[in-house]
Structure 1
Amino acid sequence: MNDGNRIEISGAGLRCGDVVRVARHSAWVDLAPETVEQAGRSYELAIDLGAKRAVYGRTTGVGANRHTVVAPESADEHGLRLLRSHAGGTGEPLPSDAVRATMAIRLNQLAAAGSGVHPRLLRALETALRVGALPVVHSRGAIGTGDLTALAEIGLTLAGELPWAVGALEPVPISPGDALAFISSNAATLAEAVLAWHDLMQLLAASHVVTALTFCALGGSAEAYSERVHQARPHAGAVRCAAELRRLLTAAGDLPPGRRLQDPFGLRAFPQIQGPALEAAGNVERILATDLNAAAENPLIDIETQQAYHHGQFSTAHIALAFDHLRAALHHVAELSAARLSDLVEPDLSGLTPFLSEGPPGSSGIMILEYVAHDALATLRHAAAPVTLGTAVISRGLEDHASFSTHAVRSTVTATAAYRTVLACELLGAVRALRLADSRLPATPLADAFRLADAALPHLAEDHPLSTEITQAEQLLGRLASL
């Protein structure tokens, strides 16, 4: 069930958009009735299996201590020791939206009933989300093989051993075996990944609008976006991008003629560059949707077969590689935006004054925007470097691979912020050029976009500091994306 303000948590069907609504828009979470009963069955099975055979983290130590047997009489304290020893995160605390997303994702994963945790931990997470209680979760401590430090902090906060950042709940008992089962997840990385994906998708949507505004300012040739052209080489992302530009540039179906036989690449090759980024973002969404609903705990307590399975589902190579690919694709998109900004300040292409200046001869106009855009582009270029070329060997050599998916996601956050600045600089240039030329825009959503931008961004003819306008343009991109 999902009515926009209420998200049903069942261990299946949770979408990235649902997580965003819980994290940023206070959507209400409801555990599906059958999930608590299923979690109870998984909990009882885990206890039964632990009485008959070795079960990692329940009857044994963890990591290189996997062969060390835990005495039954110290099982309760063993779980708390695990939480205490693993709650060693550091760095800045995660922002509130990322913490709420982490809790929602972990709740949904536990609802898939493969962990063997006591059902009261599910109820505790549900209640915390409803009342707005948030633990302190530090940002540093994950390498893509489980968010052990972050989830141990949440577990100890639920148990009453760490203070809440916001609000509070009555302490929840930690049953034998609950500790590893609760922290055996990448929920914190997934939370940051979902929010990063959402923010980047918004910018990619805004890219179509900003590019179309620049197209009109430069008198571009829409032949490059023809349906016939893209049917001849039908890459899905490019086809989608070209269709979006046609929607923005024409109301009657006839594509406008251009000033030139062929435009610079920033206009002409936009679908071929934006398309791979759209496809990469779609691939990220598919991977995240799988992991949001996964019972990936090690070991898996499987109700159907009545067995415990030890495995490597904690590895997040899919996420790390997908985000590395997405950042590389985004870098190409940002390069085109910076190139279009350079086209806008060139009189031979715009038909306007150098740097779109309006003051006395020698005025600089928006000259500085190229510097700002290329500074941001350089930041994005560094952030686009793949994190998946490194690994780690830890726990006395037993754990000999790490995906660093958490770092891939955080590099994407950096890249997204940099692209927001690049695109904002192009938006300022396009709006200024359209004002100077007094251009008519097609009767499409693009005209609405220009009216919105024209009203939101000041028009000062004389040379002046542009910092405030860059910030205003960055904030406007989300509204343009909705068009």
Structure 2
Amino acid sequence: MPAAELSWEHLVSWALRGGPAPVQLTDVSVARIAVAEEQLRLAGRSGAVYGLTTGVGALRTVPRPQPVPDDGSSPGLRLWRSHATGIGETYDDATTRAGMAIRLHQITSGRSGVSSGLASSLGDAIASGALPDLHRSGSIGTGDLVPLAQLALTLVGERPWRSGSVPAAPVDDSDALPFMSSNALTLAASALVHHRLVLLSIAAEKVAALSVAALRGSLEPFDPRVHARRPDASQQRVAGRLMGLLAEPRWTPARLQDPFALRTLPQVHAPFVDALSTLVESVLIEVNDPTENPLVDDDGTPLHHGGYMTARLSATLDALRQASYPVMALSAARLSALVDPALTGLPAFLASGPPDSSGVMVLEYVAQDALARCRLLTSPVSTGNLSISLGLEEHASFSTQAAWACERMAEQAPVVLACELVAAVRALRMGPDRLGDGPLRELFDLAASRLDDDRADRPLTEDLTAAVSLVQQGLGA
């Protein structure tokens, strides 16, 4: 019986908030793991198996010493020790937790050859909430070798736990390469940054709707008749959500045709929404497919392959950043419109007081700084190349770096939207007749309750900090 697929929602919710673990060992899964373990051992006794009877990388033709010494210098332990060379930043608790769950789920497929003893120790750690300290360095999208070697050494008692602990697992020399043959931490990071960017996409539409009202924009660009004949379901849904937020407007459109920042919202936001959906598919493909090299087939044959190359994931993460950037660029453009009296009918920079008051002028600078950082992050990492291990490994997907870049995007993009939100709320306070009593009023009330109504020239740091928090939470989601 094959292992059940891992639930995306359960994984993310548990990693962030705790509760019942999304994966646990059962009698059936332990039996499946034990069969693969024994099959790998039998294969190693009858022929060469990469990483079991040989070295790894450029040492693939070098035979391992037999019999395996039991004095703590076994090839497996030495492999873990040499690969546990991390430096700098470590994974946070949520990503570590999710990565451990993903790795256990992959092992329960019963095709890795990882021993039931090590798998049980990992399961115990997940169930008890024990967390290791895992570095983010050393992964290039071909296996999270460094953090998984560190996890293995923690499980067998050679590294301290960050929090909690479980009894040390027995050292089984056949575990060394199979346990590291996964991109579990990169997949965990991808799943969690997806969660952050989904909330960002929700907030982006809501903030944009407030700006449409503040700018007395036309609703024609969101009219279902505009989108009905276009075979683009995501664009239709974006337009529909905006129409729902902007229902029963209190204003007469100020222009026959609005700036692109208002008029092209469905066209620009839809690819971002689609890219988020595609990322879920790409991550789940990797999570639910055993990628250990070699892979133990059902008949016990060890199959050497390149399934650990996360090219699809890397390309998907690159595309996600590139799809998110135009959404932020439109936000910055709407901010510029909000401070323009020719478009709002309000004072320049939404200022109050003496004629030379600056109002929210500086928000454009802050937004453009964050937008420039986002622009740098759109460069694809999947176009990189390398040659390592004496030239034997001449390609990598760099999906780990692609996930890292998405995390940095998720830090900068809320700043852009927050600048727009602060300006939109101020504009609607200065033109309160533009708000009705529907969903848009609820959004405004939520944001206004967190943003100071003092319109004198002053530092807007506290307002911006509160607005960033609102955006990161999906503006009420």
2:244 is equivalent to residue 244 of structure 1: no
Match runs of 1:188-207 below 5 Å? 188-207=185-204
Q: What is the match of residue 20 of structure 2?
A: 28
Aligned to 1:311: 305
Structure 1 position 106 matched with structure 2 position 103 = yes
Shift of 1:376: 0.2
Counterpart check, 1:290 vs 2:285: yes
Query: Are 2:83 and 1:89 equivalent residues in the alignment?
Result: no
How far apart, in 1, do the equivalents of 2:250 and 2:55 lie? 67
Q: 1:20 to 1:160 in 2, by over 3 A?
A: same
Question: Counterpart amino acid of 1:21?
Answer: S
Superposition pairs for residues 418-457 of structure 1, below 5 Å? Answer: 418-457=412-451
The number of residues matched between the two structures is: 471
What is aligned with 1:299?
294
* Structure 2 residue aligned with 1:279: 274
Measure, in 2, the Cα distance between the counterparts of 1:448 and 1:255: 15
Between the aligned partners of 2:98 and 2:473, the Cα distance in structure 1 is 23
2:120 and 2:240 mapped to 1: Cα distance?
A: 46
| Aligned residue runs from structure 1 range 209-288, under 5 A | 209-250=206-247, 258-288=253-283
1:59–1:75 Cα contact (<8 Å) kept: no
Aligned to 1:18: 10
The amino acid that maps onto 2:456 is E
> In structure 2, what is the Cα distance between the partners aligned to 1:288 and 1:146?
14
Query: Which 5+ residue runs of structure 1 have no aligned equivalent?
Result: 1-9
Aligned partners of 1:60, 1:443: CA distance in 2, in Å? 71
Shift of 1:246: 1.5
* Cα shift at 1:123: 2.0
Preserved contact between residue 216 and residue 434 of structure 2 (Cα < 8 Å): no
Change in Cα spacing, 1:38 to 1:349, as seen in structure 2 (3 Å) is: same
Decide whether the 8 Å contact of 1:221 with 1:256 is kept in 2: no
Higher mean alpha-carbon deviation, 119-128 vs 427-436, is at 119-128
2:380 corresponds to 1:386: yes
Structure 1, 133-142 or 20-29: larger mean CA deviation: 20-29
Superposed displacement of residue 482, structure 1: 4.2
CA contact (8 A) 2:414 2:472 kept: no
1:283-432 matched pairs, under 5 angstroms: 283-303=278-298, 305-432=299-426
Cα distance in 1 for residues equivalent to 2:250 and 2:318: 36
Q: Deviations over 1:318-342 (max 9, x none)?
A: 1111111111111111110000000
Shift of 1:122: 2.2
Query: Of the candidates 462, 465, 471, which is equivalent to residue 468 of structure 1?
Result: 462
Deviation at residue 256 of structure 1 after TM alignment: 7.5
Quote the offset at 1:27 in angstroms.
2.6
Q: Contact 1:250/1:256 (CA < 8 Å) preserved in 2?
A: no
Tell me if the contact between 1:283 and 1:322 (Cα under 8 Å) persists in the aligned partners.
yes
Q: CA deviation at 1:467?
A: 1.1
Structure 2 distance, partners of 1:427, 1:439, is 18
Contact 1:142 1:148 survives alignment (8 Å): yes
Distance 1:96 1:264 in 2: 44
Q: Which residue of 2 aligns with 1:6?
A: none
TM-score by length of 1: 0.94
C-alpha separation in 2, matches of 1:27 and 1:12 = 19
1:178-197 correspondence to structure 2 within 5 Å: 178-197=175-194
Structure 2 residues without counterparts, runs of 5 or longer: none
CA distance in 2, matches of 1:130, 1:256: 56
Give me the whole-angstrom Cα distance separating, in 2, the residues matched to 1:479 and 1:73.
57
C-alpha separation in 2, matches of 1:24 and 1:412: 18
Task: Give me the whole-angstrom Cα distance separating, in 1, the residues matched to 2:456 and 2:250.
Answer: 36
Q: Distance in 1 between matches of 2:32 and 2:404?
A: 35
Query: Following the alignment from structure 2 to structure 1, what is the Cα–Cα distance between the partners of residues 26 and 438?
Result: 44
Separation in 2 of the partners of 1:401 and 1:217? 51
1:32 Cα offset (Å): 4.2
Task: Say if 2:251 and 2:434, in contact at 8 Å, map to a contact too.
Answer: no
Single out whichever of 63-72 and 14-23 deviates more from structure 2: 14-23
Deviation at 1:431, TM superposition (A): 0.6
TM-score by length of 2: 0.95
Preserved CA contact (<8 Å) 1:449 1:480: no
* Cα distance between partner residues in 1 of 2:230 and 2:443: 30
Deviation of 1:88 after TM superposition, in Å, equals 0.9
**What CA distance in whole angstroms lies between the structure 1 residues aligned with 2:475 and 2:398?**
31
1:201–1:281 Cα contact (<8 Å) kept: yes
The CA RMSD measured in Å over matched residues stands at: 1.7
Matching of residues 119-130 of structure 1 within 5 Å: 119-130=116-127
Residue type at the aligned position of 1:85:
S
Give the whole-Å Cα distance in 2 for the aligned partners of 1:221 and 1:257: 8
Separation of aligned partners in 2, 1:282 and 1:256: 35
Identity of aligned residues (%): 43
Asked if the contact 1:296/1:314 (under 8 Å) is kept, the reply is yes
Q: Which residue is 1:71 aligned to? A: 65
SS at match of 1:165: strand
Provide the rounded CA distance (Å) in 1 between the counterparts of 2:221 and 2:433. 21
Maintained 8 Å contact 2:199/2:474: no
Contact 1:160 1:171 in 2 (8 A): yes
Q: Secondary structure at the match of 2:162?
A: strand
Q: What's the offset of the Cα at 1:374?
A: 0.1
Q: How many Å separate the matches in 2 of 1:361 and 1:56?
A: 76
1:205 deviates by: 0.9
Question: What's the secondary structure of 1:417's corresponding residue?
Answer: helix
8 Å CA contact 2:447–2:470 kept in 1: the answer is yes
CA distance in 2, matches of 1:381, 1:197: 19
Aligned counterpart for 1:174 among listed residues 139, 153, 171: 171
Deviation at 1:234, TM superposition (A): 2.7
